């Protein structure tokens, strides 16, 4: 059990770290490679989109090919991408390395999450899911600080090289962890549907990124094309013999609710994590290390609040626990927005504490969603859950970036620093609104009684179904 938990923790941390580690080093990358804001966003989004797009089919491959082969191939590809990114000298090479790492992470994550169902008992799954989600939140928060330290004292290339020790340890640990073999009875991956939905996600994200540039025609074209691919995907899924998303999952109210709520959580916090170090450097004049350091407060708050989750869920239910967490995150975002005009870091700390503590309370999303699905769909369900998070991260960077860019452009007459601060405030308030929407939907969609009535008799969520 301990080795499985260590493997899960390392994988959760390193694959999530790459979502935010570029944040504090982004200005250095931009200066060295002459990148503008949209190109800089793609350095981040280039990791998240293939991660999200490949996850559903990757989950099916885990079920079909087995955990050992998937983990080994994913770790090797992730390491190659890390080495290539650290040695890159052009924007296209950096983005290509990020795409390779994102694709590799898409296969690593569902394989690691499926260990929760195959290697651990009911109590162990709850512990493992809490460890997994806590590592995600800590990595999201620590990423900018670590990126700042590496880019300031070494070079931004070390933002990539730092992944290699994690890869080496996990490869060494893999033979010592019990893993399931291939399952020839598992369905074939729906590669065609995956290509359609991934293309749609890329087009929609590109539309949001371009929206921040003030253009009208290009975002509209990308948006219409993306919507067309989304409609195509839905129709294709209805007719397909081998679906990308099994009908047993789409008909499970709690599972689809968890996907939706997780999407809104990521939309709110991911863009803020990416742009906070940029604001601290460009508006407050801090160096890369100090710019990312305040986000350590978020990580500390996550760790401190995580022990409250096992206490809260049996007493209040997963739906109320998650809703309270999202509402707390929203309060933290509003608190940071309220003090943003003050050119100091210290007043932002209380808001950051609330963001971290609230994020910790959202950890039941993963464990509860996995409990209500059949074991044969463990890999696919794990892939979809993480796809929702990664898609929300990509769209969050694009959306908050678009809001920031539009408001900054409108306020350029006030000076560059004031305009950037105004755009950041608008982004914070937008994120807070998304978190509140997520809290409302959590109360409606994650209600255990509603999940019981729509789960088709699957009682795997029994530990939560007794909650009031």
pLDDT in tens, 294-305: 878 887 888 888
b/e sequence 249-273, b meaning 16+ C-beta within 10 Å: beebbbbbbbbbbbbbbbbbbbbbb
Q: What percent of the chain has pLDDT over 70?
A: 82
Contacts of 223 (CB under 8 A, 6+ apart): 203, 204, 207
CA-nearest of 431, 396, 390, 352 to 209 is: 396
* CA atoms within a 13 Å half-sphere pointing along the CA-CB vector of 65: 19
Q: What does the alpha-carbon distance between residue 456 and residue 443 come to, in Å, rounded to a whole number?
A: 21
Residue range 174-197: mean pLDDT, rounded: 65
Q: Which stretches within 174-252 are classed as H helix?
A: 191-211, 217-239, 247-250
State how far the alpha carbon of 26 is from the alpha carbons of 40, 271, 388, 421, in Å: 7, 14, 25, 18
pLDDT tens-digit map of 118-132: 666 666 677 777 787
Cβ–Cβ under 8 Å, residues 383 and 59: yes
Q: What does the alpha-carbon distance between residue 412 and residue 253 come to, in Å, rounded to a whole number?
A: 46
pLDDT > 80? residue 348: yes
- Hey, what CATH class is 2-179+242-465 in? mainly alpha
pLDDT tens-digit map of 234-247: 888 777 776 767 66
pLDDT > 70? residue 450: no
Q: Which long-range contacts (CB under 8 A, 24 or more apart) does 87-96 make?
A: 87/157, 88/157, 90/33, 91/33, 91/34, 91/35, 91/39, 91/43, 94/29, 94/33, 94/43, 95/42, 95/43, 95/46, 96/46
pLDDT > 70? residue 112: yes
CA-nearest of 318, 251, 272 to 464 is: 318
pLDDT > 80? residue 7: yes
């Amino acid at each position: 059990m301990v080795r499985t938990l260590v493997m899960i923790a390392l994988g959760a941390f390193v694959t999530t770290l790459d979502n935010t580690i570029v944040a504090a080093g982004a200005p250095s990358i931009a200066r060295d490679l002459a990148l503008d804001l949209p190109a800089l966003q793609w350095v981040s989004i280039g990791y998240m989109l293939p991660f999200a797009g490949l996850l559903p089919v990757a989950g099916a491959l885990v079920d079909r090919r087995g955990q050992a082969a998937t983990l080994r191939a994913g770790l090797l590809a992730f390491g190659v991408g890390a080495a290539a990114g650290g040695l890159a000298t052009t924007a296209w090479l950096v983005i290509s390395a990020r795409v390779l790492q994102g694709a590799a992470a898409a296969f690593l994550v569902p394989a690691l999450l499926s260990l929760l169902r195959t290697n651990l008992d009911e109590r162990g799954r709850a512990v493992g899911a809490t460890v997994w989600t806590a590592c995600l939140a800590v990595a999201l928060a620590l990423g900018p600080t670590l990126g700042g330290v590496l880019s300031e004292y070494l070079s931004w290339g070390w933002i990539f090289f730092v992944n290699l020790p994690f890869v080496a340890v996990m490869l060494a640990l893999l033979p010592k962890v019990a893993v399931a073999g291939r399952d020839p009875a598992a369905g074939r991956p729906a590669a065609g549907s995956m290509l359609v939905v991934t293309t749609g996600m890329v087009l929609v994200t590109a539309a949001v990124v371009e929206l921040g540039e003030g253009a009208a025609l290009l975002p509209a074209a990308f948006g219409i094309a993306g919507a067309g691919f989304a409609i195509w995907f839905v129709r294709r899924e209805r007719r397909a013999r081998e679906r990308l998303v099994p009908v047993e999952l789409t008909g499970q109210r709690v599972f689809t609710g968890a996907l939706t709520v997780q999407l809104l959580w990521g939309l709110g916090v991911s863009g803020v994590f990416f742009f906070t170090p940029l604001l601290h450097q460009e508006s407050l004049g801090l160096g890369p290390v100090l710019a990312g350091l305040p986000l350590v407060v978020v990580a500390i708050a996550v760790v401190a609040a995580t022990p409250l989750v096992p206490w809260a869920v049996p007493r209040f239910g997963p739906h109320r626990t998650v809703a309270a967490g999202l509402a707390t995150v929203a309060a933290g975002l509003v608190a940071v927005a309220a003090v943003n005009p003050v050119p100091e870091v210290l007043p932002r700390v209380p808001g950051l504490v609330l963001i971290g503590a609230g994020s910790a309370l959202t950890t039941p999303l993963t464990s509860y969603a996995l409990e209500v699905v059949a074991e044969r769909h463990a890999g696919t369900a794990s892939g979809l859950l993480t796809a929702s998070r990664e898609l929300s991260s990509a769209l969050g960077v694009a959306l908050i970036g678009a809001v920031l860019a539009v408001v900054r452009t409108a306020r350029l007459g006030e000076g560059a620093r004031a305009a950037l601060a105004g755009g950041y405030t608008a982004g914070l308030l937008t994120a807070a609104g998304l978190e509140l929407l997520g809290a409302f939907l959590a109360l409606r969609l994650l209600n255990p009684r509603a999940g019981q009535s729509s789960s088709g008799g699957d009682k795997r969520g029994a530990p939560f179904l007794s909650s009031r």
